[in-house]
A = this chain, B = another copy of it.
Amino acid sequence: MWRPLADAARELVDLCVSSAVEEDEVRAAQADVEAAVARLRKARRTQTLGQEHLTGGRRRPWGNPVIGLRNPIAPPIVVHSDPSGRAESDFHCGAAYEGPPGLVHGGVVSLVLDQVLGHAVGAGGRPGMTGTLTIVYRQGTPLGDLRVEAWIDREDGIKTWAKAHIIGPRGVTAEAEGVFILPRALREA
């Protein structure tokens, strides 16, 4: 039930920046959204989605701002990963992710790269928190259909280096390297 709500909210987010209707329609739409807000406000979770899933022992990142099905901020991107330490996704960035005119915001580029780097190291059995993230911007990343690929580059003790890039219609737009630190709990295991 939350997924269809989030999908409708995702369309609303896009229309907030892309609609061109007249003022009376905007105000009527605002009243509709406020009615939805009033309904949803009647009960609130006591923990965030991330905290609750942690308590439950499984991580279902429904609230994640990149991949979370329940989070309208997330496009969401669907990441495919495999145990060799690779992850990839074909995804779409619409007008709500715009930075420079017609281009994806450079910080959104880094947000997607960070997320998919995390999938690669996790899939490869080397999960961890990001220690350092370096992004090199090669060219503007156009809004629209894009692809991201990430892979483990090397390992040394508790550190894992992973690389990633985003590919647009004219080739690689941005490259990333992340250093991930193995959590203490896993070091002892």
How many copies of the chain does the oligomer comprise?
2
A131, B137: Cα distance in complex, Å: 5
A110, B117: Cα distance in complex, Å: 14
Provide the main secondary structure of the chain A interface.
Answer: helix
Contact partner of A96 among B73, B110, B131, CB < 8 A?
Answer: B73
Residue on B with the closest CB to A23? B1
A40→B19 contact, CB < 8 A: yes
Contact partner of A65 among B37, B44, B97, B118, CB < 8 A?
Answer: B97
A39, B25: Cα distance in complex, Å: 6
A106→B133 contact, CB < 8 A: yes
A167, B9: Cα distance in complex, Å: 31
Count of chain A residues near B, Cβ 8 A: 85
A158, B72: Cα distance in complex, Å: 39
Q: Answer whether A48 and B143 are a contact pair too, CB < 8 Å, given A32-B36, A95-B63.
A: yes
Please name 15 pairs of A and B residues whose Cβ atoms are closer than 8 Å in the assembled complex, sorted by A: A1-B26, A8-B34, A17-B63, A19-B42, A29-B35, A32-B36, A48-B95, A48-B143, A50-B102, A50-B103, A63-B96, A64-B105, A72-B96, A73-B97, A131-B136
A residues at B contact (CB < 8 Å): 1-2, 4-6, 8-9, 11-13, 15-23, 25-30, 32-37, 39-45, 48-51, 53-54, 62-66, 68, 70-73, 95-103, 105-108, 110-115, 118, 129-137, 140, 143
